[in-house]
Amino acid sequence: MSAAEGAAGANPANPERLRERLRDLLGVDRWVEANFPAVAPSAEEEVVKLLQSYPGEIMVIGQGTSFPSEFTPPSDALILLTSRLVEHFSYSAEDQVVEISAGWSLAEARSRLSSVGVVVPALERFPNGTIGGRLAGISSRHTGGRDGWTQSLLGITVATPDGEKLQFGGRCIKDVAGYDLRHIFTGSRGNLGVILKAIFRCRPQSEWAAYGYPVSTPRPAGRISPVLRKLLDPKGRMRSGV
Ligand SMILES: Cc1cc2nc3c(=O)[nH]c(=O)nc-3n(C[C@H](O)[C@H](O)[C@H](O)COP(=O)(O)OP(=O)(O)OC[C@H]3O[C@@H](n4cnc5c(N)ncnc54)[C@H](O)[C@@H]3O)c2cc1C
């Protein structure tokens, strides 16, 4: 289906029709039964296809832990739930690096890492949420010390609002050549696109126990550069609820 065909009938006000359109587009039904239009893609390529072809506004939600309890998802935007984006989880003991899809819950990711004796300090602070939500929801940058975000986050893969898949950084510090764009999406609150997966440097648990939380530098919530936003989302399709 072309983008134009995809646009026809892709109206959140007509959920049944929208569900059909999205099923045709993705080749599989990812609709979630709810009081609002929602899909839960389970592969990066499904997110990419969705962003390339769905013309309306999209709001990304992980576990929703940072939304206020009175929050009601809008009925005029498509909710993209990331909780089924769990394609990748690979830990390399040799490099002490882990690559994790955005939908993994922090609790499950921590428990898996703990079973091999390591932690990602920057992921320790909040008990709930997803990897993607943690990155997009950061409200303070843990810049201090070797375990701050700058050190912890080695790479990030994202889908832009137009459905372009981009990777910044990689498994080694030296993969970050030229402009270091890894951190553009941290704290982006779903405004700049969808975080698909991230690569983190791990630390031995024994070392971490003696080390404590990284130092944090407060950063005003939800402040995204208007220039950056215009550049990445010229049509203003990504809507943030928080
Ligand atoms: C305003 C606010 C209040 C918070 N309060 C608490 C608290 O009381 N207790 C606590 O433990 N933690 C709190 N946190 C931290 C938050 O729970 C963690 O950051 C958590 O990991 C979020 O994960 P989530 O999956 O629930 O994200 P969500 O709450 O679902 O989303 C957080 C933000 O990130 C965006 N987002 C989610 N996933 C993606 C993705 N894959 N790509 C792009 N954007 C994405 C959403 O659109 C939203 O703007 C708060 C964060 C914020 C921003």
> In this structure, what CATH number is given to the domain that contains residue 8?
3.30.43
Query: Are 16 and 48 in the same domain?
Result: yes
Question: Does the C-beta of 242 come closer than 6 Å to ligand 1?
Answer: yes
Q: How confident is the model at residue 7, as a pLDDT?
A: 46
Q: How confident is the model at residue 4, as a pLDDT?
A: 40
Q: How confident is the model at residue 110, as a pLDDT?
A: 94
Query: Are 138 and 233 in the same domain?
Result: no
Question: How many structural domains are present in the chain?
Answer: 2
Q: How confident is the model at residue 54, as a pLDDT?
A: 92
At 75, list the tokens. Answer: 């009925």
User: For residue 158, which of 128, 183, 129, 124 has the smallest C-alpha distance?
Assistant: 183
Question: Which amino acid is present at 41?
Answer: P
Query: Are 104 and 146 in the same domain?
Result: yes
Query: Are 146 and 218 in the same domain?
Result: yes
Question: Does the C-beta of 140 come closer than 6 Å to ligand 1?
Answer: no
Query: Are 109 and 164 in the same domain?
Result: yes
Question: Which amino acid is present at 150?
Answer: T
Do residues 86 and 109 make contact, with C-beta atoms less than 8 angstroms apart?
no
Question: Does the C-beta of 152 come closer than 6 Å to ligand 1?
Answer: no
- What is the C-alpha separation between 137 and 86, in angstroms, rounded? 19
Query: Are 15 and 77 in the same domain?
Result: yes
Q: How many CB atoms are located within 10 Å of the residue 66 CB?
A: 20
Q: Is the dihedral of CA 148, 149, 150, 152 positive or negative?
A: positive
Q: How confident is the model at residue 6, as a pLDDT?
A: 46
Q: How confident is the model at residue 75, as a pLDDT?
A: 85
Question: Does the C-beta of 126 come closer than 6 Å to ligand 1?
Answer: yes
Query: Are 164 and 235 in the same domain?
Result: no
Query: Are 112 and 184 in the same domain?
Result: yes
Query: Are 106 and 188 in the same domain?
Result: yes
Query: Are 76 and 116 in the same domain?
Result: no
Question: What is the distance in A from the centroid of ligand 1 to the CA of 187?
Answer: 9
Query: Are 147 and 55 in the same domain?
Result: no
- What is the C-alpha separation between 78 and 196, in angstroms, rounded? 18
Question: Does the C-beta of 66 come closer than 6 Å to ligand 1?
Answer: yes
Q: How confident is the model at residue 175, as a pLDDT?
A: 58
Q: How many CB atoms are located within 10 Å of the residue 214 CB?
A: 21
Determine the structural domain holding residue 54 and report its residue range.
3-83+228-239
CATH classification at residue 101: 3.30.465.10
Ligand 1 pocket, mutate which of 42, 48, 66 (most atoms under 8 A from CB): 66
Polymer length of the chain: 242
Q: How confident is the model at residue 166, as a pLDDT?
A: 93
Closest atom, ligand 1, to C-alpha of 102: 41
Q: How does pLDDT run along the chain (242 residues), one tens digit per residue?
A: 444 444 445 677 788 999 999 999 999 999 998 888 999 999 999 999 999 999 899 999 999 998 888 888 888 899 999 999 999 999 999 999 999 999 999 999 999 999 999 999 888 877 889 999 999 987 655 444 445 677 788 999 999 999 999 999 888 766 555 566 778 888 889 999 999 999 999 989 888 766 655 544 444 445 566 776 777 788 888 887 77
Q: Which residues pair with 119 in a beta bridge?
A: 203
Residue 99, SS3 per DSSP: strand
Query: Are 116 and 196 in the same domain?
Result: yes
Whole-model pTM?
A: 0.87
Q: How confident is the model at residue 20, as a pLDDT?
A: 94
Question: What is the distance in A from the centroid of ligand 1 to the CA of 131?
Answer: 9
Question: Does the C-beta of 65 come closer than 6 Å to ligand 1?
Answer: yes
